[in-house]
Amino acid sequence: MNITRRQFLQYCTASAAALGLSQLDLLKLEKALAAYGDPNCYGAPHVIWFQGQSCGGCTLSILNRMRIDADLTGDGVWPGIGPMGNYVQDVVDLLVGDAVGHLALGGARTDVGAPDNWGAFPKGYICLDYQTEVMAGAGDIMMDYVTSLRGGTEPYFLAVSGAMPIGDHKRVVAGRPPRFCISGSLDTDDGDGVRERSITEIVEWLALGSSCAGVVSFGTCASYGGIPAGKRNLTQATGVYNMLVNYQKHPELAAKIVNVPGCAPHPDWMIFPIAYFILTGTLPPLDTTGAQNKVWRKRKTDGKYAWARFENPLNRARAIYGGEADKGYANFCQVCPKKSAVDFCEDLGAGAGDGDGTNPKEWCTRPVGCNGQYASPDCPTRRWNNFDDHTRNNWCVGVNYVCQGCAEVDFPDGRSPFFEGVKNGS
């Protein structure tokens, strides 16, 4: 999309009250836009995204918010999509929408054959430098680029999706090659030179970089372990916070780690910490109550498998995952339209939808396993699959399904079995 800096600031001024921005914030924004002057990045903070034991869902979710076709001719029209300017509704749109070409470019490497008309390329506000699913380069040229970013002076965010296998961390510490999750071949300054590196080594190396402004864990897997950390998993998977602070012993990183749980998280949730940082220079207010992270491993004392338990702060943004004081409600049941339903649904498959309230599918699904009473994010109000004009679309409960509790610390084991519920719905 093609929007001038002046238009962007005018828009922000008009929306300032709605966004909760003060005049001071707007001044900072103006300075921030001017300060990020790196020509390679079109004026945007760097984001390096590495994947651990991930399914790729977090990437797909955030791609819903980004466009791959750029407005290359600068006339405000995107191929096949139509004028973007009319549909902009909030700052997040502006911030993310402008990042398009960087996804296609794989980090604004100007020596990988940029066509001539990219001189008219719009300014990007997130420079997604490295992301295996969408970047243009592969192999050692991208590893060299990441190494140069880590050693450089510009601040970067380390975005991580997917779980961290502690099994690999233990192998590396013992001097053996990792084998559960190799995310690239590079030199992480440990004396071994260029060799296959586990995601555990790469995340530790990048998080310890002096230019690292923050570590954002996308998804329940990177936040708390998620599905790869389910009972009986063989890799001792866990989240990024648990690995960096408790296993790799870097407590000074604790304040820099923001968790964005969800399976997959809403793209707005993922953009929020980075957008907040661009606007204010700090990470957003976090919910730091403690919760248990569990790691499934073979116990040294008797050789049996059991959970290793760690009490870690949740470190998730309060504006999205908070309680009544932060977003107006603490769990889904407080705002669910099915709360006043006539009866409780005993069978998800029964009946056909006709909208008059007599259909079992329109009744509260707690007896069949809805986890809404434990769920913390803002799905009922923000909803999912939103179009550019932000019509509030659908969400899991709204399509007559159950809430899986996918953003909670104990997903999936604490939410399983998913289709058994509280029978009397009280």
Q: Which residue, 183 or 248, has its beta carbon nearer to another protein?
A: 183
CA distance 386 to 392: 6
Least distance CB 184 / another protein (angstroms): 5
**Residue 181 near residue 233 (C-beta atoms within 8 A):** no
Q: Which residue, 135 or 271, has its beta carbon nearer to another protein?
A: 135
Q: Residue 317 is which amino acid?
A: A
Q: 198 - beta bridge partners?
A: 182
Q: Which residue, 130 or 277, has its beta carbon nearer to another protein?
A: 130
Query: What residues have CB less than 8 Å from 240, skipping those under 6 apart?
Result: 52, 160, 164, 203, 215, 217, 222, 223, 257
Least distance CB 243 / another protein (angstroms): 16
Least distance CB 138 / another protein (angstroms): 4
- 66: number of CA atoms within 13 Å, CB side? 25
Least distance CB 406 / another protein (angstroms): 8
Least distance CB 109 / another protein (angstroms): 12
Q: Which residue, 349 or 355, has its beta carbon nearer to another protein?
A: 349
Q: Which residue, 85 or 230, has its beta carbon nearer to another protein?
A: 230
Least distance CB 162 / another protein (angstroms): 8
Nearest partner of 136 among 78, 68, 81, 202, judged by Cα: 68
CA distance 35 to 44: 9
CA distance 317 to 120: 36
Residues near another protein (CB under 8 A): 51, 53, 55-57, 59, 106, 132-140, 142-143, 163, 179-185, 196, 226-228, 230-235, 237, 263, 404, 412, 416-420
Task: Determine the distance from the C-alpha atom of residue 38 to the mean position of all C-alpha atoms in its chain, rounded to a whole number.
Answer: 25
DSSP codes joined into one string, 241-303: HIIIIIIS--GGGGGGEEEE--SSPPHHHHHHHHHHHHHHSSPPPEE--EEEEEEEEE-TTTS
Least distance CB 399 / another protein (angstroms): 15
Q: Which residue, 14 or 141, has its beta carbon nearer to another protein?
A: 141
Q: Which residue, 333 or 368, has its beta carbon nearer to another protein?
A: 368
DSSP codes joined into one string, 57-110: HHHHHHHTTS-SS--TTSSSEETTTEESGGG--SHHHHHHHTTHHHHHHTS--T
Least distance CB 10 / another protein (angstroms): 38
Query: What residues have CB less than 8 Å from 299, skipping those under 6 apart?
Result: 305, 306
Find the Cα–Cα–Cα–Cα dihedral 242, 248, 252, 258, rounded to 10°.
-30
Q: Which residue, 43 or 261, has its beta carbon nearer to another protein?
A: 261
Least distance CB 82 / another protein (angstroms): 27
Q: Which residue, 120 or 194, has its beta carbon nearer to another protein?
A: 194
For residue 375, what are its two tokens? Answer: 């769920």
The SS3 assignment for 394 reads strand
For residue 344, what are its two tokens? Answer: 């409780």
Q: Which residue, 324 or 420, has its beta carbon nearer to another protein?
A: 420
Find the Cα–Cα–Cα–Cα dihedral 158, 162, 163, 168, rounded to 10°.
-80
Least distance CB 356 / another protein (angstroms): 29
